[in-house]
A and B are shown apart, each in its own frame.
Chain A
Amino acid sequence: MSEPERLLTLTNLTVSRAGAARPELDHISTAVEARETVVILGEAGSGKDALMRALARALDDGETQTGSIRYGAIGQGSESAGVMRAAYLPGPISKPLSPNASAVSQLARVIARKLGAPQASGRAEFAQEIARLDGAPPLAAFEKRAGEIPNEILAWGLLAAALAQTPDLLLVDHLFEGLAPKAARVLEGALLAAKARLNCTLICATMNTDTALRLGGRLIVMRHGRIVEEGPLQRLATAQAHAYTQTLFKDATPRERSAQRGQPVVQALRIALNGENRTRDEINFELRRGASLALVGEEGSGRHRLARMILGMDRLEKGRIVFDAVDIGILSPDMMSRLRRRVAIIAGADDVLDPRMSLWDTVAEPLRAHLHLRGDLVAQYRESALRRVGLASLPGHLPISSLSAFDRRRLQVARAIVTAPVLAIVDEPFRGLDAFAQSVIRDLLQSFRAEEGPAFLVITADFAVARALADEAMVLRERRIVERGALADILRAPKDPYARALVAASRLDVPGTLSSAAAGG
């Protein structure tokens, strides 16, 4: 049996950023064999991003590197280092493409530059690769401007562009982050199939343990710029692993956090919103973890009253509500308040955040008030959440009153993320936002739902919003349910005239709108 061929050797690799208190990578030493699959797992700030940048030779301007990266038996920087082809595959959530230019032309340009070929060849290579990928959307889907393409589709384009370079080493940087679980699984399958076809080495950085488990291979767990441990994933995903690794597998995968995956979060039993005692007006429903239900109706239809009842803020006149396995009717106000800590709300109003508070305090408040965490941990979670919503670059002391509606909406998502809720109430989340902001918020909410796994209760009058965020719907009118069922069924053939009117009013087929983008995704 021949010795495995060593593709990469890292020796005391240190990456520091000017002005930072500690290095992003702190004396990393490891090796990667040819054709190996390596998953680099860690939280935000663990150093995995810096490691990927170093491997891709794409350090930022302010970063300096010491130590060495040897590609095969040849040192980095020598002329023959280029013999090995490495392709860098970023995730769509990092917005690697210019939003205003055609995605296919940008990706073709990348391929052409890497292969040293004309752009027309790059486009042909891209088309061939898309055709090879099982489950990929057609080439036409990438003709649009990158900003108009949903992340689930864009991810295929980025994968195809990387594979078209026929790399020996594929550096996958958070490709699956922010994608819906189903889309992520199909993409992971395609990536593994492509790796087998190209017989290349795969290094994948992720903060998602589900992705790590599905990709398999060798796991490198990172924290604070250092390797906590490395080894076969089958071992590290068990109780034999380092305590931190166990925490990651426990905490970073909400759906596997407990045995309650799929268990009911909210059960409404014989609720009456209109104060009448007729059986046909009773509302019964169940919302399970990971599921998403839209309450569709106009103002005064009872949507908000129902949400307030679920939160124990309005008295139940009839029936009962079980929240996270607790009958809220028996709870004192203080106990109900404690139960509400497991709820996040993202509302389409600009006055739901205290205008006097700062950006940092708004995100950190639930952590301080609910969990009494240490300051450094609060800062860590806060930064991670702000980075996910794209607000990490703003000064932390900025008062809410000075933020735009778009920033406030993203801040609400960040605040929701840090609470790790079991239920997220999403109330007209796109109200008052422009098309671009709507698409960003939609992606953030979809990513939030996919990664944190809360039950979603979507309150809206617009079926386009419901379709972007929910799987099922209840249509309310005058505090009664007039239609309920799978959203797709209601959209296809609404039975009730009122539901039909709402569907017709939702402009689900207008190109370029949120609805059409959601449909595309």
Chain B
Amino acid sequence: MSAVGNAAPAASPPLRAIIRGAGFIGLGVIGVVVGLADVLARAPANAENVGPPLLPPSAQFPFGTDILGRDMASETLHALAVTATAAGFGALVTVLAGGLLGFLAARLPWGLGLFSRWIAGVLGAVPTLLLGILLIGLTERSFAPLAAGLAAAPIAFLRSFDRARELSFSRHAEFARATGISRNALLRRDLAYEFRDTFLVNATRALAAVAIILSTVSFLGFGATPPHRDLGLMIGAARDTYFDHWWTATFPAAALALLILCARLAAALEEGERP
């Protein structure tokens, strides 16, 4: 729920607005592409023998074909839709389970609040990717988006907790308490303004983090399973053919990089919950 503790130096406000604008435009375009994936793709998802196997990019198949004769352009579009949708869901989980809970936990009685922060600190010390794989192992593969969102949540929790503590010890909060504004009213006020001011930044930052976690998990074979292929799985499937047939991994990787780049730009390049 916050933008506190950025490691990178903050950009000047006009530059920041330009960066964020570019990011949101990119995400908007990706959103449209994802929404129209079934229309834009020439072949349905996972349709084999659409063309000859391992055909390089050409006028007929702009991204070429893979070893099973699948149209790489159509497959990349479908996989981008799967990755973006799952990452969007996971980002929401991160914001709610991390940001919101961190904000609320900071208002708990002193000991309880610090204990919850300590738990989040321990979880946050575990590499996010490993935490994601652990959570998938405890559930099942179809829970990968949820697991990725939860894996990114501890860092968001810590940031949000610290921001809420900073707010509750601020002069304006003390002024409000001194004039009888209740703790609940103050919490509502802080939530409303933090949501307004930082939700988009936090959500897009979490989107980038969750997209990386999900793709890596799928690449390693713990995430998406065919026929629902995401970008990570597509890149992983090209392990055997990539060095001779560059297009089999390059286009899915470029699509993934574009999604992450746009999300990071929309978050004004703020450091976030990184795997």
Contact = CB atoms under 8 A, between A and B. Distances in A.
B175 A347 contact: yes
Contact of B172 (A338, A342, A354): A354
Nearest to A356: B193
Nearest to B173: A354
A347 B176 CA distance: 12
A437 interface: no
B193 A340 contact: no
Contact of B180 (A343, A347, A349): A343
A457 B177 CA distance: 18
B177 A355 contact: no
A361 to B, nearest CB: 8
Interface stretch (A166-174, A362-370, A489-497): A362-370
A240 B111 CA distance: 59
B179 A345 contact: yes
B239 interface: no
B189 interface: yes
A344 interface: yes
User: Most A CB atoms within 10 A — which of B179, B180, B197?
Assistant: B179
A98 interface: no
B171 A365 contact: no
B39 interface: no
B269 to A, nearest CB: 23
Interface residues of A, number: 27
User: Most B CB atoms within 10 A — which of A311, A338, A344, A352?
Assistant: A352
Contacts of B178: 311, 313, 340, 343, 345, 425
User: Most B CB atoms within 10 A — which of A338, A344, A355, A369?
Assistant: A369
B185 interface: yes
A366 to B, nearest CB: 7
Contacts of B175: 345, 347, 352-353
B189 A354 contact: yes
B171 A369 contact: no
A467 to B, nearest CB: 26
Interface SS majority for chain A: mixed
B45 to A, nearest CB: 45
A339 B177 contact: no
Given A354-B189, A356-B197, A357-B189, A365 B172 contact: no
B110 to A, nearest CB: 13
Interface string A327-341: 000000010011111
A341 B179 contact: yes
Contact of A313 (B172, B173, B176, B177): B177
Contacts of A353: 172, 175
Contacts of B179: 340-341, 343-345, 366, 419
A339 B176 contact: no
Interface in B177-204: 177-183, 185, 189, 193, 197
Given A345-B175, A347-B175, A337 B182 contact: yes
A341 B180 contact: yes
Interface in A81-98: none
A256 interface: no
B170 interface: yes
A103 B172 CA distance: 41
A351 interface: yes
B172 A369 contact: no
A355 B193 CA distance: 10
Given A313-B177, A337-B177, A357-B189, A351 B182 contact: no
Contacts of B189: 354, 357, 365
A306 to B, nearest CB: 14
User: Most A CB atoms within 10 A — which of B172, B180, B189?
Assistant: B180
Contacts of B171: 349, 351-352
A200 to B, nearest CB: 47
A369 B184 CA distance: 10
Given A357-B189, A357-B193, A365-B189, A352 B172 contact: yes
Contacts of B182: 334, 337, 369
B180 A342 contact: yes
Nearest to B171: A351
B170 A351 contact: yes
A221 B183 CA distance: 41
User: Most A CB atoms within 10 A — which of B171, B178, B193?
Assistant: B178
A420 to B, nearest CB: 12
A89 to B, nearest CB: 37
A366 B180 CA distance: 8
A366 B181 CA distance: 7
A347 B175 CA distance: 9
Contacts of A369: 180-182, 185
A338 B180 contact: yes
Nearest to A352: B175
Contacts of B180: 337-343, 366, 369-370
A311 B173 CA distance: 15
A351 B176 CA distance: 11
B229 to A, nearest CB: 44
Contacts of A366: 179-181
Nearest to A358: B193
Contacts of A351: 170-172
A237 to B, nearest CB: 33
A338 B193 CA distance: 24
B189 to A, nearest CB: 7
A245 to B, nearest CB: 31
B90 to A, nearest CB: 28
Given A351-B171, A354-B189, 13 more contacts: A313-B174, A313-B177, A313-B178, A334-B182, A338-B180, A340-B177, A342-B180, A347-B175, A354-B176, A357-B189, A366-B180, A369-B185, A419-B179
10 contacts: A313-B174, A339-B180, A340-B180, A344-B179, A349-B171, A353-B175, A356-B193, A366-B179, A366-B180, A366-B181
Closest 3 CB pairs of A and B: A341-B180, A340-B180, A352-B175
Interface of B: 170-183, 185, 189, 193, 197
